[in-house]
Amino acid sequence: MAITEIIFWFLSALAVISAIMVVLSKSPVHSVLWLIAVFFAISGHYVLLNAQFIAIVNIIVYAGAIMVLFLFVLMLMNLNKETEPQKNLWMKLTGVVSGGCLLIILISLVRQATEIKGKIAVTKTGDIGLIKVLGKELFSSYVVPFEISSVLFLSAMIGAVVIGKKD
Amino acid sequence: MLSLETITNNINNWLNNHVSSTWATIIEMLIVGLLVIGLFAMLGLILVLMERKVSAFMQIRVGPNRVGFKGSLQTLADTLKLVLKEGLTPKGADKFLFNLAPYVVMCAAMLILAPIAFAKNFQIWDINIGVLYISAISSISVIGILMAGWASNNKYSLLGAMRSGAQIVSYELSAGFSVLCIVILTGSLQISDIINAQQNGWFIFKGHIPAIISFIIFIIAVTAETNRAPFDLAEAESELTAGFHTEYSGMKFALFFLAEYVNIFVVCAIGAILFFGGWMPLHIGNWQGFNQVMDYIPSSLWFILKVFGLIFLIMWFRWTFPRLRVDQLLNLEWKYLLPLSLVNLLLMTVVAIMGWHF
């Protein structure tokens, strides 16, 4: 077995186990930490596909920013066993049924998708995820949505400053 | 001439001649890992002693001078004491996370070392998005700090972790913007490209006023990111005992302590690479004679000198400025540094487009 294959199986197992642990762990803080592990495993997959830029952005945005925000909120709320809301049996049952429905839809979609059928991911080669290619693509084919979203982010940043200035 | 580049090349050739390429890679990985751990131990010993000596110099004291020659073995004695101490885990703490947190912080500090060029062609991983990689990994240490604060089951720890997290997350913005200024000048995120672009002068001279402004913003932001005075609210002794590592003792405390000093080294190394040319000797334009004289000084020595110069600067801050309040800290970032760095980024873009940098 090639070394790429070993890493692939290791990362996949890590991602799946961590994702299951996100759902199973009792403490919400543990769930968030497991979710961070999932993001790291997925970033590892991106690196295997030679998409280093996407891997790093995944870490910056999800593991670095959003999950830290989640951790902040959860730690400040001081959730523990006494304050844990008790859901009744019907709530749990409906949750399971709706989740299962979503799973069936996703599986059927993947099975029907002819575009990805029989295609093998190319590891270590290909340059679609490199910053040069991605930048050119973003600034030629998708320049309008990209600029609009950057204006959105800039306005969010200025909004934070404005809220900070208001006393 | 004996340089780090020839040594690594010789080892690589020797390994590839004697064992298969897969095993050569694995052995090289092991060697790199050992070197990184060795560097960490050395940095811990040197920087802690340096901090105490610098603080003594600032306050007109002698500093540690009993163990070894002029106190040079003081940190070794301290480490020995910490190793012998008991590592307590408080009752009611989340045991797993409590024990995991110091290692997460250490791993984050170790991972950042990968793209840093210590000398000419002496680099662990020359990734094509080096600068972005550094900023991504440095945001991971926040998770370790929050983990430590929460798992300790102590209000001081939690408050310290919160403050530290808020500080790191907000000052990362300014640090990112000042790094972006240099990326605009270079047109590349790769560390080796950034260093090679400073062949005819360091960026702090080449980029005129915007580069100087971004250097000042960078040094303020990284001082805050490493949680050092005047931004050491996260471990303000008078308010929070010791912040997020209040409950830690023995070797686990030592790991946090070590990670702090390694982080200082790392951010200073990044500052040296971005603004002072990393291992690049002091070159002035096309003065061939002067440049060749400077090339005789080995590149690793240049790098070490620049990094320790910046470390001295950061230590100087610590012992001369009083601690900020939380509101002052956040005001400084969101009201002054962030708008300033946005304007500075525009200025730098104008400089780069007009070709005013030489």
Per-residue pLDDT tens digits for A16-68: 999 998 888 877 888 888 888 899 899 888 888 878 888 888 888 888 788 88
Report the pLDDT value the prediction gives residue A126, as an integer from 0 to 100.
67
Report the pLDDT value the prediction gives residue B149, as an integer from 0 to 100.
82
State yes or no: pLDDT of A101 exceeds 90: yes
| Preferred mutation among B131, B139, B345 to probe A, highest tally of A CBs within 10 A | B139
Shortest Cα distance, chain A CAs vs residue B55, angstroms:
34
Report the pLDDT value the prediction gives residue B16, as an integer from 0 to 100.
79
Q: State in Å, rounded, how far the first CA of chain A is from the last one.
A: 63
Q: What is the average per-residue pLDDT within A113-133?
A: 70
What is the spatial distance between Cα B238 and Cα A58, in angstroms, rounded to a whole number?
39
Cβ contacts of B139 on chain A, cutoff 8 Å: 59-60, 63-65, 68
State yes or no: pLDDT of A124 exceeds 70: no
Cβ contacts of B337 on chain A, cutoff 8 Å: none
Contact criterion met (CB below 8 Å) for A147 and A141: no
Binary contact (B132, A53; C-beta < 8 A):
yes
Report the pLDDT value the prediction gives residue B357, as an integer from 0 to 100.
67
ipTM beyond cut 0.90: no
CA angle B138, B143, B145 (to 5 degrees): 95
Cβ contacts of B169 on chain A, cutoff 8 Å: 65, 68
**Tokens 């798992």, residue?**
B151
pLDDT band, very low/low/confident/very high, at A97 (cuts 50, 70, 90): very high
What is the spatial distance between Cα A13 and Cα B188, in angstroms, rounded to a whole number?
35
Binary contact (B136, A59; C-beta < 8 A):
yes
Cβ contacts of B164 on chain A, cutoff 8 Å: none
Report the pLDDT value the prediction gives residue A100, as an integer from 0 to 100.
93
Report the pLDDT value the prediction gives residue B138, as an integer from 0 to 100.
82
Q: Among A33, A53, A76, whose Cβ lies nearest the Cβ of B129?
A: A53
Report the pLDDT value the prediction gives residue A102, as an integer from 0 to 100.
94
Report the pLDDT value the prediction gives residue B163, as an integer from 0 to 100.
82
What is the spatial distance between Cα A74 and Cα A28, in angstroms, rounded to a whole number?
7
Q: Which two tokens stand for residue A73?
A: 């909120």
- DSSP readout, chain A? --HHHHHHHHHHHHHHHHHHHHHH-SSHHHHHHHHHHHHHHHHHHHHHTT-HHHHHHHIIIIIIIIHHHHHHHHHHHT--TTTPPPPPHHHHHHHHHHHHHHHHHHHHHHHH-STTTT--PPPS---TTSHHHHHHHHHHTTHHHHHHHHHHHHHHHHHHHHHHH--
Binary contact (B129, A131; C-beta < 8 A):
yes
| Residue in B262, B261, B265, B257 with CA at minimum distance from that of residue B78 | B257
Q: Among B133, B149, B335, whose Cβ lies nearest the Cβ of A161?
A: B335
Q: Among A3, A56, A165, whose Cβ lies nearest the Cβ of B132?
A: A56
β-bridge pairing B117-119 and B122-123: antiparallel
Binary contact (B143, A75; C-beta < 8 A):
no
Report the pLDDT value the prediction gives residue A81, as an integer from 0 to 100.
61
Q: What is the average per-residue pLDDT within A77-85?
A: 65
Positions of E strands within chain B? 117-119, 122-123
Report the pLDDT value the prediction gives residue A105, as an integer from 0 to 100.
93
Binary contact (A52, B335; C-beta < 8 A):
no
What is the spatial distance between Cα B60 and Cα B94, in angstroms, rounded to a whole number?
44
What is the spatial distance between Cα B243 and Cα B256, in angstroms, rounded to a whole number?
12
pLDDT in tens, B23-42: 888 888 888 889 888 888 88
Per-domain residue ranges for chain A?
3-129, 131-167
- DSSP readout, B219-233? HHHHHHHTT-TTSGG
Of A86-100, A109-123, B289-303, where does mean pLDDT reach its minimum?
A109-123
Per-domain residue ranges for chain B?
82-354
Shortest Cα distance, chain B CAs vs residue A137, angstroms:
17
**Cis, bond preceding B230 (omega within 30 deg of 0):** yes
| Residue in B58, B28, B23, B49 with CA at minimum distance from that of residue B317 | B58
What is the spatial distance between Cα A90 and Cα B174, in angstroms, rounded to a whole number?
50
Binary contact (B146, A131; C-beta < 8 A):
no
Q: Which residue of A has its CA nearest to B162?
A: A72
Shortest Cα distance, chain B CAs vs residue A100, angstroms:
32
Shortest Cα distance, chain A CAs vs residue B153, angstroms:
10
Binary contact (B158, A75; C-beta < 8 A):
yes
Q: Among B137, B140, B146, whose Cβ lies nearest the Cβ of A75?
A: B146
Binary contact (A68, B146; C-beta < 8 A):
yes
Q: Which residue of B has its CA nearest to A159?
A: B334
Phi, psi of B45 (to 5 degrees): -65, -45
Q: Which residue of A has its CA nearest to B142?
A: A68
pLDDT tens-place values along chain B, 358 residues long: 567 778 888 888 888 788 777 788 888 888 888 988 888 888 888 888 888 888 888 888 887 888 778 777 888 888 888 888 877 777 877 778 888 888 888 888 888 888 888 877 778 888 788 888 888 888 888 888 888 888 887 788 888 888 888 888 888 888 888 888 888 888 888 888 888 888 777 877 777 788 888 889 999 888 888 877 787 777 777 777 777 777 777 788 888 888 888 888 888 888 888 888 878 777 777 777 777 877 787 888 888 888 999 999 888 888 888 888 878 888 888 888 888 888 998 888 888 888 776 6
Q: Which two tokens stand for residue B145?
A: 């700090």
| Preferred mutation among B22, B133, B134, B164 to probe A, highest tally of A CBs within 10 A | B133
Report the pLDDT value the prediction gives residue A17, as an integer from 0 to 100.
93
Half-sphere exposure of B227 (CA within 13 A, CB side): 29
For the domain covering A3-129, report its CATH number: 1.20.120.1200
Q: Which residue of B has its CA nearest to A158?
A: B339
- At CB < 8 Å, which residues of chain A contact B? 3, 27, 29-30, 33, 36, 52-53, 56-57, 59-60, 63-65, 67-68, 71-72, 75-76, 130-131, 157, 160-161, 164-165
Cβ contacts of A60 on chain B, cutoff 8 Å: 132, 135-136, 139
> In what helix (H) or strand (E) does residue B107 lie, and over which residues does it extend?
helix B95-112
What is the spatial distance between Cα B343 and Cα B177, in angstroms, rounded to a whole number?
10
Report the pLDDT value the prediction gives residue A98, as an integer from 0 to 100.
94
State yes or no: pLDDT of A77 exceeds 70: yes
Cβ contacts of A76 on chain B, cutoff 8 Å: 162
Of A77-91, A130-144, B112-126, B147-161, where does mean pLDDT reach its minimum?
A77-91
